[in-house]
């Protein structure tokens, strides 16, 4: 099992499976839709809300 240095900070994105848009989860109160509008993301460091069908998006870290 690989260990990841603590200095590497990963950011979470929500990727729309329909249009491929990766929306950054921290939107500071702004509901941010993807390009095709299938999903919308609204989040902070503590809580991320995604509006849309669960099968239409996936959470990715990078």
| Residues that bind Zn ion in the complex, under the rule CB under 5 A | 16, 18-19, 34, 36, 38
Burial 5-41 (b: 16+ CB within 10 A, else e): eeeeeeeebbbbebeebebebbbeeeebbbeeebbbb
Min dist CB 5 to Zn ion, Å, is 33
Min dist CB 8 to Zn ion, Å, is 28
Q: Which is nearer to Zn ion, 31 or 36 (CB)?
A: 36
Point out the residue whose Cβ comes nearest to Zn ion. Answer: 16
């Amino acid at each position: 099992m690989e260990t990841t240095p603590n200095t590497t900070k990963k950011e979470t994105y929500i990727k729309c499976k329909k249009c491929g848009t990766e929306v950054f989860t921290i939107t500071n109160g702004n509901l941010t839709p993807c390009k095709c509008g299938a999903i919308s993301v609204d989040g902070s460091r503590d809580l991320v809300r995604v509006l849309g069908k669960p099968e239409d998006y996936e959470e990715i870290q990078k």
